[in-house]
Amino acid sequence: MGTFSKGILGGFSGKVGNVVGARWRGKDIMRSLPTRGNYTPTPAQIDQRERFKTAIQFLTPIKEILSAYFGKPQSDKSTFNLATGYHIKYALLPDGLETYVVDYPKVLIGKGDLRGLSNPSVTPDANQELSMTWDDNSGQGNAAATDELVVVVYCEALNVFETANPAGTRNLTTVQMPLPAYWATQQVHVWATFVTADKKLAATSTYLGMVTLT
């Protein structure tokens, strides 16, 4: 890569022959196109690509929640980057020779130092509705009655998510979450976490389990 001073034609952007021009940090630069070779990825690289693809496909629909509640950015890594890294490392299971599936109990929708759910449970109610209960642990540690419950529900067969943000507050101890009618009879996975009312702190989420809708 080289820089150049503007001549009669000035700087340029784009490809001309085997040269690419661009503007970088206030300077005009030129570089040659890379030479294509017969590159063959190693088994480790193929494995990492499969892990990354599986994690990204699962997490992207809930990126907004992960970006808001999965810890704090670290250096050049966003919270979504951190969430992706965690799931690649801890929340995948091998499925065949070179593919992976999500290990749902290991999935996290939030990560932080806020006190989490105490004794949570989820049961299906009529008309594709979920009933969630927990103990009110307000006042324990940094838990407050106004902390908001965030819920993520995933139907694997339909490959769709439903979220409630918020679904209620810590002091309620029970909420009902309606789901789409076309989810009837489907099995769903449920996760929940608490976040402070100002959205600045989250709890490490809890996997409530898998239930079958009525």
- Residue ranges covered by each domain of the chain: 113-214
The separation between the first and the last C-alpha atoms of the chain, rounded to the nearest angstrom, is 63
Contact criterion met (CB below 8 Å) for 209 and 117 = no
8 pLDDT tier (thresholds 50, 70, 90): very low
Q: At residue 68, does pLDDT exceed 70?
A: yes
CA distance 122 to 120: 7
- Residue 65 vs residue 13, higher pLDDT: 65
pLDDT (tens digit, 9 = 90+) per residue, 11-47? 555 666 667 776 666 667 667 766 666 778 898 999 9
> Which CATH code of 3.10.450.40, 1.10.357.10, 2.60.40.10, 3.40.720.10 fits the domain covering 113-214?
2.60.40.10
pLDDT (tens digit, 9 = 90+) per residue, 77-128? 999 999 999 999 999 999 987 899 999 999 999 999 999 999 999 999 999 9
With residues binned 3-state (H G I as helix, E B as strand, rest as coil), the percentages for the chain, rounded to 5, are 20, 40, 40
